[in-house]
Amino acid sequence: MGKEELQSKLTAIFQKTFNDESLELSDELTANDVENWDSLSHMILIAEVENSFSIKFKLKDLNKMRNVGDMLNIIESKL
């Protein structure tokens, strides 16, 4: 899966989870920039990502996700 494809798939997950169809992802995007992205929806997001990409995160991976860019890298490393 190429980086482009990965990002568009992730964008769809974000849009669905945060209920915002205009949401665009960038590497620097953090939880502070997105309405409703709090510790509750974050875990739903994580579960969605794991299901769609059929991967499993570790707790340590979670601590390393500071922004969307980090998340993309971690997903990529698991595929």
**Binding region for other proteins (CB under 8 A):** 19, 36, 38-41, 43-44, 46-47, 50, 57, 59-60, 62-63
Least separation in angstroms between residue 4's CB and other proteins is 28
Q: Give me the half-sphere count of Cα atoms (radius 13 Å) on the Cβ side of residue 13.
A: 22
Closest distance to other proteins from the beta carbon of 76 (Å): 20
Q: How far is CA 11 from CA 15, 20, 52, 59, 60, in A?
A: 6, 10, 12, 23, 23
Smallest separation, CB 8 to other proteins (Å) = 23
